[in-house]
Amino acid sequence: MGLSRREFIKRTAALTAASYVGMNLPFSNEESAHAADADTWHKGTCRLCGSGCRLELGVKNGKAVALRGIPESRTNKGYLCMKGMLFYKLMGDNHPERLKKPLYRAKKDQPFKEISWDEALDIAAKEFAKAVKKYGNDSVAYYGSGQALTEETYIFQKVMRGGLQTNNVEGNPRLCMASAVGGYITSFGADEPIGSYTNFERASCFFIIGSNTAEAHPVLFRRIMRRKLDNKDTVKVINADPRVSPTSRIADLHLQFEPGTDLALLNAMAYVILEERLYDEDFITNYAVFRMGKEKKQVDFNQYKAFVKDYSPEKVAKICGGNITPEKIKKAARWFAKSEGTMSIWTMGINQRKRGVWANNLIHNLHILTGQLCKPGADSFSLTGQPNACGGVREGGGLCHILPAHRLVKKDKLRHEVEKLWGIPEGRIPPKPGYHTVAMFEAVNQGKIKAIWINCTSPAQSLPNCDKYRKGMKREDVFMVVTDIFPTKTTELANLILPTAFIFEKTGVYGCTERRSQLTVKAVDAPGEAKPEVWIVREWALRLAKELNDPVIKKCVEPFLGKEPDYALPKAIWDEYTQKLTKGRDNDLRGATYEVLEQLPDGVQWPAPTKEWALKGGTDIKFVRGLDPLADKHAKNDLPYQFYGPAHPDKKLWIWLRPQKGPEEMPDSEYPFYLSTGRIIDHWHTSSMTGRIVELMRANPYAYVEINPKDAEKLGIKPGDMVEVVSRRGRNVLPAKVYVGPCEGMVFVYWHDQDEERMINRVTKDAFDPGSKEPEFKICACRIKKVSGPKPLKPFLVQMKA
């Protein structure tokens, strides 16, 4: 057959396009004619997970009608999951439930009233100014999102820090990848992965721990699966997870340990690597040092060996329980160390742990010990859950302790650098980091924060132990502004709801997991009076400046005055951020201008200091001379790898001595089960978007609890029975799914459901990692009981009460 794959794709394009038009149409010529009618196709990035899939939006008569993948893209290679194919149904006037007008109520028990933008911005400015005047600068806060565009996070934090002089700038990435940040900085000295997705096609061993990639990142999972299936005998997949998930399906080895014993398991793998001399001595001597404790005390190799001696596979197999045997640990360690290139992949299973940073460190340890870094296929790769957690929040300064471009708030030099670049007086940004997420909502509970702006996220559902924090959000003396596109659990508690534009209704950049910044340009109009956040912040800041009589606040938005909000305004913000703030930093994005980003099918991976470099796609692997322009620039010696990360003055990789540490709450006689939570493929986070796509909602109308068949038998629970899941904090009643997924003694619940009875974050625990401040969503103790037989259930989404 002389038919290449590409030609085949082309030929089927017409057919393919037919179903792009709408899933409700059958295959026929009539429909393919329809698809060709889409007037224009606009490049952009998927709104949902952190994979950064590139896609095109089909627009017909100003209406979004279809989405399709871009085959030239280096992230998804044209593939899309169903969420990515269907979210055009939320754009413009396609969805009747979109928020279209600013809504206000003075008291939280009153119904909302429609008001004009002028009134809304006045109210927001007055309330924030009132709080600042009466209770000080730290009585106001911004809680953002890894889904906001980089421009949005940047301008929000600029106004909060430079204008309102507070570091109370946080975001939901604290709940999902703060531990990964901590891990990368403490182990490698620089945030974000060294390599990129290209390693999927080059790795010969995958170590997937604490990630259900198949459901959470289906498009990336396809690449892993492809690699495995094309090289069945040479590529090994190890999956370590207390739950058998769809990801385990392709695994050669499944390590099912009891929740909370992961640190011991990782140390045991290090034990085997040392015991069997599988480490790379040259790599360790050239690039690594050993450290321990809070004071980062340097120790030597022998001390590390002595530390790891405590974690023999025989001993650890007993700690880990589940299906773990010493042989399995040894096998995993051998595959890991001996392969041509080993790639570790993890997400929330590792990050959302009481000692998430340590768990991250221990994975990095294995890579440093075996030299599985910087070479093709070798990487220690944390996947991100949100489309712009990396680009916007980690790089853009969206957390309480960091300023844009990986600068720490507490470092005077870096803080003053930012003040200078912004042209505001030195000392304007306070030196003390603000409240981290849990502390911020604790402060709301205690009435210390009087005005809070929540943008593009729903903490009322996504915070652990959310009932506790909803109490604070319900307080009458806490003024809450929520900017969102749909009603959520959080808008229910707001004073002021501001309708915003959705992706493709505004312009801006998303930065995905692999350091790649990708631009989406406006293609359709936002419904009603919904506005882009950048415009909202600019107008609000101008009013704040007047209310507080503070010209510096105005100064913060001065470069952006008079720009039209759909393209020129975000472009000006992006230019300021990239050209001024990232200059000379490790995430140098000066080459990635809007012009460059628009030319590329996907985007640019930083470091990209020049346009020429950016046009090539940027840096595939960091720290390698010849591949990373900054590695050449910072080179101190002749070694091929230069770990120039700003956080490690010795320019070395650090191997950490981290002991096993269990979860905060262990099962006991009263609450004998482990409870873990996670995502399902068809829904994304709080399902405020995916729940509104009929096809997706139908596929998974409500959350359920997965119970191991052995436990179900003991408790007399049959499939479909209504089961009560109770912890010390709250109670849920969900239908049971009896399934060999979770290990014995563990139950698993999906967290997307908005129904009060099935909202699992009312049950989870808000203990957090003292290092990264990321809560331990993944483990708490609960008890389960059958309450009734099966019941017909209805899907539930928060609606706006008229």
Partner 1 sequence: MKLKNKKLSKNKKSGNPLPADQSKRLLLKSLGSAGIFFLGLSSKKAGAFSLKASPVKTNVLRPPGAVPEDIFPSKCIRCGRCVEVCPYKAIRPLDIRSGVYAGTPLVFVEEIPCYLCMKCVEVCPTGTLRPINQDETRMGLAVIDKHACVTWSQELALCRTCYNVCPFKEKAIKLDELRPVIIDKYCTGCGLCVHGCQVTQKNGKKAINVEPIYAFRTVKW
Site of interaction with partner 1 (CB under 8 A) = 8-9, 12, 15-16, 19, 23-27, 68-69, 71, 77-82, 85-86, 218-219, 222, 225, 229, 246, 249, 680-682, 695-696, 698-700, 718-720, 789-792
Q: Among residues 208 and 225, whose Cβ is nearest to partner 1?
A: 225
Amino acid at 20: Y
Report, in Å, the least distance between residue 226 CB and partner 1. 8
Task: Extract the tokens encoding 558.
Answer: 């001065």
E strand intervals along 574-717: 604-605, 653-657, 673-678, 705-707
Q: Please tell me the distance from the alpha carbon of residue 215 to that of residue 238, in angstroms, as a whole number.
A: 17
What residues contact 728, with CB distance under 8 A and at least 6 apart? 665, 671, 781
**Judged by CB, which is closer to partner 1: 199, or 245?**
245
Q: Which residues contact 389 (CB under 8 A, 6 or more apart)?
A: 50, 146, 171, 173, 176, 177
For the CB of residue 72, give the shortest distance to partner 1 in the complex, in Å. 12
Q: State the minimum distance, in angstroms, from the CB of residue 388 to partner 1.
A: 22
Strands, sheet with 103-104, edge to edge from the N-terminal-most edge strand: 113-114, 103-104, 496-499, 479-484, 451-455, 140-144, 169-171
Identify which of residues 248 and 437 has a Cβ nearer to partner 1 in the complex: 248
What whole-number distance in Å separates Cα of residue 648 and Cα of residue 645?
6
What does each C-alpha distance from 237 to 225, 340, 355 come to in angstroms?
9, 13, 25
CB neighbour list of residue 761: distance below 8 Å, 6 or more residues apart: 461, 462, 463, 464, 465, 466, 677, 751, 777
| Cα→Cα distances 180→24, 360, 401, 702, Å | 41, 6, 15, 30
Nearest to partner 1 of 716, 792 (CB atom): 792
Judged by beta carbon, residue 735 or residue 775, the one nearer partner 1 is 735
By beta-carbon proximity to partner 1, the closer residue of 37 and 612 is 37
Paired strand residues for 531: 500
Closest C-alpha to 727, from 752, 700, 749: 749
Q: Smallest distance from the beta carbon of 139 to partner 1, in angstroms?
A: 46
CB of 153 to partner 1, least distance (A): 29
Q: How far is the CB of 724 from partner 1 (least distance, A)?
A: 17
How, if at all, do strands 103-104 and 63-69 pair? unpaired
Q: Which DSSP helix (H) or strand (E) runs through 671?
A: none
Instruction: List all residues 6 or more positions away from 381 whose beta carbon is below 8 Å from its beta carbon.
Output: 193, 195, 199, 343, 344, 345, 513
CB of 795 to partner 1, least distance (A): 13
Smallest gap from Cβ 789 to partner 1, in A, equals 6
Decide whether 528 or 601 has the Cβ nearer to partner 1.
601
As measured in angstroms, the least distance from the Cβ of 69 to partner 1 is 5
Residue closer to partner 1, measured from CB, 442 or 695 = 695
Q: Supply the DSSP string of 134-160, one letter for each residue.
A: HH-GGGEEEEE-TTS-HHHHHHHHHII
Smallest separation, CB 204 to partner 1 (Å) = 20
Distance of closest approach, residue 76 Cβ to partner 1, in angstroms: 8
Residue written as token pair 């007993």? 318
Cβ closest to partner 1, residue 8 vs residue 37: 8
* Bridge partner list, 746: 674
- To partner 1, the closest distance from the beta carbon of 371 in angstroms equals 33
Q: Is the dihedral of CA 368, 371, 374, 379 positive or negative?
A: negative
- The answer to whether 173 and 393 have CB atoms below 8 angstroms apart is yes
- In the complex with partner 1, the residue whose CB is nearer, 78 or 659, is 78
Those residues whose C-beta lies under 8 Å from the C-beta of residue 633, and which sit 6 or more positions away, are none
Residue 788's DSSP bridge partners are 722
Q: Which is nearer to partner 1, 95 or 546 (CB)?
A: 95
Q: Rounded to the nearest whole angstrom, what is the least distance from the CB of residue 584 to partner 1 in the complex?
A: 40
Nearer to partner 1, 234 or 788 (CB): 788
Smaller CB separation from partner 1, 27 or 785: 27
CA distance 511 to 70: 17
Cβ(351)–Cβ(360) below 8 Å: yes
| Least distance CB 10 / partner 1 (angstroms) | 10
The C-alpha R_g of the chain, in whole angstroms, comes to 25
| Burial degree of 321 (CB within 10 A; 0-12, 13-18, 19+) | middle
**Rounded CA separation 758/731 (Å):** 9
Nearest residue to 344 (alpha-carbon basis) of 370, 312, 310: 370
Q: Is-contact 259 248, C-beta < 8 A?
A: no
Q: Of 540 and 702, which CB lies nearer to partner 1 in the complex structure?
A: 702
User: Which lies closer to partner 1 via its Cβ, residue 460 or residue 681?
Assistant: 681
Q: How far apart are CB 705 and partner 1 at their closest, in Å?
A: 15
